[in-house]
A and B are shown apart, each in its own frame.
Chain A
Amino acid sequence: MILSVSCGLCHVTPAPDRNSCPTVSAGEKAEIGVMSAVRSGQHTRPMCFLLLLMILQLGLHTAEGVWPLPQTLISSTERFPLSPQAFYFGYGSQSAARQGCSVLDAAFKRYFYLIFPDYTSGRWNLFSDKNEKDGTLRFSVDKQFTVEVSVDHDDCDGYPNESSSERYNLSVFSGRASLKAVTVWGALRGLETFSQLVYQDDFGSYFVNKTDIEDFPRFQFRGILLDTSRHYLPVQAILKTLDAMAYSKFNVFHWHIVDDPSFPYQSRTFPDLSSKGAFHPMTHIYTQSDVRRVISHARMRGIRVLPEFDSPGHTKSWGKGQPDLLTPCYKGDIPSGTFGPVNPALPSTYQFMATLFKEVSVVFPDSFIHLGGDEVNFSCWKSNPYVRAFMQKMGFGSDFTKLEAFYMENIINITSALNKTSIVWQDVFDYHERIPKDTVLHIWKGTPASYYAELSRMTKAGMRVVLAAPWYINHISYGQDWHNYYTVQPLNFSGTEEQKKLVIGGEVCMWGEYVDATNLTPRLWPRASAAAERLWSDEKQTSNVDKAFPRLQDFRCKLVRRGIQAEPLYVGHCKQEYQGV
């Protein structure tokens, strides 16, 4: 990233030392006024002193303000005014996608309001009147600016997938920006970047600096897990999270939709699962149309929806609506009345799972299905005489990991037959010798030392891996814990280049024990944004926490401005504070 100013002998790089979001205080208005005059052509040459002031004040208004940091970025202090009355999105003449492209048409509308937040509240007119009376900006008010978008593939009606290109090039010139991408998903990332380049001066006028960006994600898989079983999250809360994910360029929503405490997914084939297993059968469920709405909202933002139906453990709530699915635990010779994991000894279990996953594979278009497979407690299986008899029959001896492996293999075969890629928690790799090669492993345990070892082992076995262990963001502590999420080095394990390529990405997990709609958003943001930069940006350019701090503070104020209640990193303020409660 280069940020330099050429003006005689002045070479200035702004120091990232702000404690607060960039605002221009009243005392600095005078300089800005003169600056505006400079821009409107009343002086032919900007004076060095003024330019220096401008850079110090607006340092963060240059391209440094993009989060996560683009791969390469060259920006100048030359800036162009934008007016909502003369601002347009358009398709380039060579673009494969044209007007009518659902994803981009909707994105243009969305980003117009994100770029001009005052426009919606009608405040713009007020500002522009003031400016006209002031006289300094009249020159620029009506100048047209067009963002011209070109993509190579017309994938407007598809879904993003594990091999979608998200690469884009963005160039901002006078009166025009050119955004080029391979896919519409890349174009979405570029639009987000463009929206973050635009800033307002203290009079409310909008500007964008001359900028050149080439950008692409470091990792293909950049996910957020939400847990809707331990607490039910209203659809509105999920949609809002998807909005915020797009602002940080996340691209996978891992929906841990069911678990022990509740089964809110309303199944078409097994409606009893939610009518008996949800916290409430009417108010605390996701209907088919809710699910479609989430998937569609995500698609429009280039986000995949990866559903998790975790078994054989973590299934207590399933048992309420599906008799005989769970293993009855025994106390001595008689059933104790409690239930354990899914019963792996009954053929009916696999028939049920095949039917359920058939439905899931149709409802969720993504090519991945998360099968869970973690934390299986063997004590109930051990207590059950029928399970023990099954063990004998299968020749498993008393090794219950073999039983578990048998079960998972059956489930993975079911999803393979449905042409889906399975993703499972790391436990499955630990106990399963013959795990199919195209299965993706999800690391969630341990300290850096132990997850590095796990990464080495798994990639050596040729398996693809997603790393979640360092990003268990539900764990909170006092202070600036975002440092921990930012300084993770996902590829810092011993292994060949080929092995490193098998790490397809990472995931931020927000488990739901202590989280519901009341506190989800401020707990997630901007802490998850720290992980977002690690997963998108070049690690060498983004390894310094102190450099990241003012940029992340700036970004969190952007989130607040966009209505996302992202909590503060430290003392300071945003120009526009959050106005809810």
Chain B
Amino acid sequence: MLLKFAVLLLTLALCQANRQPNILVEDVEDVEPAFEPSRFGSLWPLPQKLQISQDSFKLGSGFRIVDGKGSSAGASCNILQNAYRRYYEYIFGGAKRQGVGKSRRSGPSELTELRVYITSADSECDGYPSVNSDESYDLSVVQPFAVLKAPKVWGALHGLETFSQLMYEDEYGAKSINATAISDFPRFAHRGILLDSSRHFLPIKVILANLEAMAMNKFNVFHWHIVDDQSFPYLSRAFPQLSQQGAYHPYTHVYTPADVKMVIEFARLRGIRVVPEFDTPGHTQSWGKGQPDLLTACYSGSAPSGTFGPVNPILNTTYDFMAQFFKEISSVFPDGYVHLGGDEVDFSCWKSNPDIQKFMDAQGFGKDYSKLESFYIQKLLNIVTTTKKGYVIWQEVFDNGVKLKPDTIIHVWKGNQQQYQSEMANVTSSGYQTLLSTPWYLNRISYGQDWHAIYKADPQDFKGTEKQKALVIGGEACLWGEYVDATNLTPRLWPRASAVAERLWSSKDVTDINDAFNRLSVHRCRMVERGIPAEPLFSSYCPREYKGI
């Protein structure tokens, strides 16, 4: 019964915030969310179509997740077999309870199996997820067998997560699940999280934990902002001196090829793409340490000042380097896309450099340095095109009028609501695909329930035709690293990023903030129980508090 599980999955909401100095109280709206169980239980993000009945079944520890007969993926499918084990452990809390009641026969209202069918001929079990992957699934919980059907393994992974979210404990701790029918698919194909491993190095363990949390929220893209001004932790096989000189430490603060491989495989097993970002020509201070002559020497008057600016766009050696470097990247990262950055290029250093001025004259660019930027980006895009990759770039590249290939994805990150909405309109009216991040800069924190604003933003809320709206392929929550490292990353990201997850997965009309609060409160406790230190939404408790102290 739904009401029964309300008893267990409760979070209490109470009372006015205590002793808030008056100046701040006014900034904090809505201080009294009242928890009550949602009729959708703790499902997060909410499936597209669902029916939950009052009939409930028990799950004994004899319960199994098995391949359905005739499924196109079987025992040799790593993705599924790993997922079965993972979700079995989530449901039954690890191996410790196995064996209990094994001999017990299944009662009249017991669910004994979840049968998983991959219905298309190619399960994609050995492949990588892509922007075109079919992530849909159908789940039917009926007695005595629940059935999960998905065209591809990617949908099956989401279906397993949903199944595990339907499970709850009755007041005696017995695992229960209600009869349910779900038909589900994502609203947007690209649902990403950006982590920044340059401003602070993030140990692999933290990245993996966040991939776990992403899977619990049906995110499917890990945008790895791997290098930037501050450090270059990516250990390149072709240019090892980049991290040797440019990382915070050449051994303890780098990602080796094996580390990167591990991240990619861990992500693949959870249906998550890894899109690496190698941002140029700005944001490259750390590159210069290991690659002499790559950056532009800034001048003070007629002499070099000793400081360096963006990548030097006038040297052939720059493009030779980029060609070789991106060739490596294209083979190390299997995803169909790389993120090429292109944001926040400061022209002052280029302006100061006499060789660049000469080049500008020779090219007939006049004083328009955005033309020089265009020149650089054009050449870079040609290089990357030869590696057979698609690319994502930050919005400035589009704003500066750089000529782009029609399949370029423009990543919108600037401005206030009005500005980003008009940017989305401009980008899509030019026929480009786009991703939204502006309202989801989760590194920006404030006091109170800021997930409300995160939840309310919608990437298709702008003036445009249906055709334009269809060019919005999704969005990304960004956690820039100025103030974030392994010590605080996970609680700062979760469950705030979960608000983005529902916006990007669920139907556009899923906007009831009270119902969202009720489901999200329980969802966050579930993440805590699974070892993710997701922070609380408000005064409340979880039946099992975080123990990893």
| Structural contact, B546 and A571, CB atoms closer than 8 A | no
In this complex, what residue of B is CB-closest to A235? B549
Interface residues of A in 536-581 (CB under 8 A from B): 560, 565-573, 575-581
State A219–B167 Cα separation when bound (angstroms): 54
Q: Mark B512-531, 1 if CB is under 8 A from A, else 0.
A: 00000000000000001001
Q: Mark A13-39, 1 if CB is under 8 A from B, else 0.
A: 000000010010110000000000000
Q: Mark A309-340, 1 if CB is under 8 A from B, else 0.
A: 00000101000000000000000000000000
The B interface is mostly helix, strand or loop, or mixed, namely: loop
Interface residues of B in 126-146 (CB under 8 A from A): none
In this complex, what residue of B is CB-closest to A241? B549
| Structural contact, B19 and A444, CB atoms closer than 8 A | yes
State A568–B488 Cα separation when bound (angstroms): 8
Q: Does B445 contact A (CB under 8 A)?
A: yes
Interface residues of B in 360-414 (CB under 8 A from A): none
Q: Does B533 contact A (CB under 8 A)?
A: yes
Interface residues of B in 192-228 (CB under 8 A from A): 199-201, 203, 205-206, 209
Among the 9-residue stretches B21-29, B72-80, B152-160, the one with 4 or more Cβ atoms under 8 Å from chain A is B21-29
* Residue from B14, B199, B252, B253 within 8 A of A571 (CB atoms): B199
Chain A interface extent, by class: 35 or more
Q: Does A374 contact B (CB under 8 A)?
A: yes
B-chain residues with CB within 8 Å of residue A26 when the two chains form the complex: 250
Q: Does B122 contact A (CB under 8 A)?
A: no
Q: Smallest distance from the beta carbon of B269 to chain A beta carbons, Å?
A: 18
Q: Smallest distance from the beta carbon of B223 to chain A beta carbons, Å?
A: 19
| Structural contact, A581 and B205, CB atoms closer than 8 A | yes
Among the interface residues B491, B534, B546, which one has the most CB atoms of the partner chain A within 10 A? B491
A-chain residues with CB within 8 Å of residue B303 when the two chains form the complex: none
* Residue from B19, B444, B487, B532 within 8 A of A522 (CB atoms): B487
Q: Smallest distance from the beta carbon of A217 to chain B beta carbons, Å?
A: 26
Q: Does A110 contact B (CB under 8 A)?
A: no
B-chain residues with CB within 8 Å of residue A444 when the two chains form the complex: 19, 21
Interface residues of B in 416-448 (CB under 8 A from A): 443-448
State A474–B17 Cα separation when bound (angstroms): 11
* Residue from A519, A566, A573 within 8 A of B253 (CB atoms): A573
| Structural contact, A514 and B538, CB atoms closer than 8 A | yes
| Structural contact, B231 and A516, CB atoms closer than 8 A | no
| Structural contact, B539 and A261, CB atoms closer than 8 A | yes
Q: Does A488 contact B (CB under 8 A)?
A: no
Chain B interface extent, by class: 35 or more
Known contacts A477-B446, A519-B535, A573-B231; A260 and B15 CB within 8 A of each other: yes
State A159–B49 Cα separation when bound (angstroms): 63
Q: Does B484 contact A (CB under 8 A)?
A: yes
A-chain residues with CB within 8 Å of residue B231 when the two chains form the complex: 573
| Structural contact, B445 and A518, CB atoms closer than 8 A | no
Known contacts A261-B14, A475-B447, A573-B248; A230 and B491 CB within 8 A of each other: no
* Residue from A25, A259, A478 within 8 A of B445 (CB atoms): A478
Q: Does B12 contact A (CB under 8 A)?
A: yes
| Structural contact, B483 and A577, CB atoms closer than 8 A | no
B-chain residues with CB within 8 Å of residue A580 when the two chains form the complex: 205, 486, 548
Q: Does A231 contact B (CB under 8 A)?
A: yes
Known contacts A231-B541, A425-B19, A581-B548; A522 and B199 CB within 8 A of each other: no
Known contacts A374-B19, A375-B19; A279 and B12 CB within 8 A of each other: yes
| Structural contact, A476 and B447, CB atoms closer than 8 A | yes
Known contacts A511-B19, A570-B483, A581-B206; A518 and B528 CB within 8 A of each other: yes
| Structural contact, A579 and B486, CB atoms closer than 8 A | yes
Known contacts A261-B15, A571-B230, A571-B482; A522 and B21 CB within 8 A of each other: no
| Structural contact, A25 and B547, CB atoms closer than 8 A | no
A-chain residues with CB within 8 Å of residue B533 when the two chains form the complex: 517-519, 581
Q: Does A60 contact B (CB under 8 A)?
A: no
State A446–B17 Cα separation when bound (angstroms): 15
Q: Smallest distance from the beta carbon of B509 to chain A beta carbons, Å?
A: 29
In this complex, what residue of B is CB-closest to A564? B487
| Structural contact, A519 and B18, CB atoms closer than 8 A | no
In this complex, what residue of A is CB-closest to B209? A581
Q: Does A283 contact B (CB under 8 A)?
A: yes
Q: Does B296 contact A (CB under 8 A)?
A: no
* Residue from B209, B486, B540 within 8 A of A578 (CB atoms): B486
B-chain residues with CB within 8 Å of residue A231 when the two chains form the complex: 536, 539-541
Q: Does A153 contact B (CB under 8 A)?
A: no
Among the interface residues A316, A472, A477, A581, which one has the most CB atoms of the partner chain B within 10 A? A581
A-chain residues with CB within 8 Å of residue B56 when the two chains form the complex: none
State A236–B540 Cα separation when bound (angstroms): 19
Interface residues of A in 396-452 (CB under 8 A from B): 425, 444-447
| Structural contact, A567 and B250, CB atoms closer than 8 A | no
In this complex, what residue of A is CB-closest to B248? A573
Q: Smallest distance from the beta carbon of A329 to chain B beta carbons, Å?
A: 15
B-chain residues with CB within 8 Å of residue A573 when the two chains form the complex: 200-201, 231, 248-249, 253, 485
Q: Does B481 contact A (CB under 8 A)?
A: yes
In this complex, what residue of B is CB-closest to A509? B19
Q: Does B545 contact A (CB under 8 A)?
A: yes
| Structural contact, A234 and B485, CB atoms closer than 8 A | no
A-chain residues with CB within 8 Å of residue B14 when the two chains form the complex: 230, 260-261, 316
| Structural contact, B483 and A262, CB atoms closer than 8 A | no
A-chain residues with CB within 8 Å of residue B19 when the two chains form the complex: 374-375, 425, 444-445, 472, 509, 511
Q: Does B543 contact A (CB under 8 A)?
A: yes
Q: Does A237 contact B (CB under 8 A)?
A: yes
In this complex, what residue of A is CB-closest to B200? A568
Q: Smallest distance from the beta carbon of A48 to chain B beta carbons, Å?
A: 26
Q: Smallest distance from the beta carbon of B235 to chain A beta carbons, Å?
A: 15
| Structural contact, A516 and B535, CB atoms closer than 8 A | yes
State A475–B253 Cα separation when bound (angstroms): 32
| Structural contact, A511 and B17, CB atoms closer than 8 A | yes
Q: Mark B248-268, 1 if CB is under 8 A from A, else 0.
A: 111011000000000000000
Q: Does B352 contact A (CB under 8 A)?
A: no
Q: Does B490 contact A (CB under 8 A)?
A: yes
Q: Does A479 contact B (CB under 8 A)?
A: yes
Q: Smallest distance from the beta carbon of A200 to chain B beta carbons, Å?
A: 14
Known contacts A25-B249, A425-B19; A516 and B536 CB within 8 A of each other: yes
| Structural contact, B539 and A513, CB atoms closer than 8 A | yes
Known contacts A444-B21, A446-B22; A578 and B485 CB within 8 A of each other: yes
B-chain residues with CB within 8 Å of residue A283 when the two chains form the complex: 543-545
Q: Smallest distance from the beta carbon of A253 to chain B beta carbons, Å?
A: 16
* Residue from A514, A565, A581 within 8 A of B535 (CB atoms): A514
Among the interface residues A509, A523, A580, which one has the most CB atoms of the partner chain B within 10 A? A580
B-chain residues with CB within 8 Å of residue A260 when the two chains form the complex: 14-15
| Structural contact, B199 and A232, CB atoms closer than 8 A | no
| Structural contact, B549 and A232, CB atoms closer than 8 A | no
* Residue from A259, A284, A472, A567 within 8 A of B487 (CB atoms): A567
State A445–B199 Cα separation when bound (angstroms): 37
| Structural contact, A521 and B549, CB atoms closer than 8 A | yes
Q: Does A293 contact B (CB under 8 A)?
A: no
State A570–B230 Cα separation when bound (angstroms): 11
Among the interface residues B250, B252, B535, B538, which one has the most CB atoms of the partner chain A within 10 A? B535
A-chain residues with CB within 8 Å of residue B447 when the two chains form the complex: 474-477, 514
| Structural contact, B252 and A516, CB atoms closer than 8 A | no
State A566–B486 Cα separation when bound (angstroms): 10
Q: Does A138 contact B (CB under 8 A)?
A: no
In this complex, what residue of B is CB-closest to A566? B487
Can you name 26 A-B pairs with beta carbons within 8 Å?
A: A234-B547, A259-B15, A261-B15, A374-B19, A375-B16, A444-B19, A445-B19, A445-B21, A447-B21, A447-B23, A474-B447, A511-B18, A513-B18, A513-B539, A514-B537, A516-B536, A516-B545, A518-B490, A518-B528, A519-B536, A568-B200, A573-B253, A577-B201, A579-B486, A580-B205, A580-B548
Given contacts A519-B492, A521-B487, could you give 13 more A-B pairs where the C-beta distance is less than 8 Å?
A234-B547, A259-B15, A375-B18, A444-B21, A446-B21, A513-B538, A514-B537, A567-B485, A567-B488, A573-B201, A573-B231, A577-B201, A581-B205
Q: Which 3 A-B pairs have the closest CB atoms?
A: A522-B488, A519-B491, A518-B533
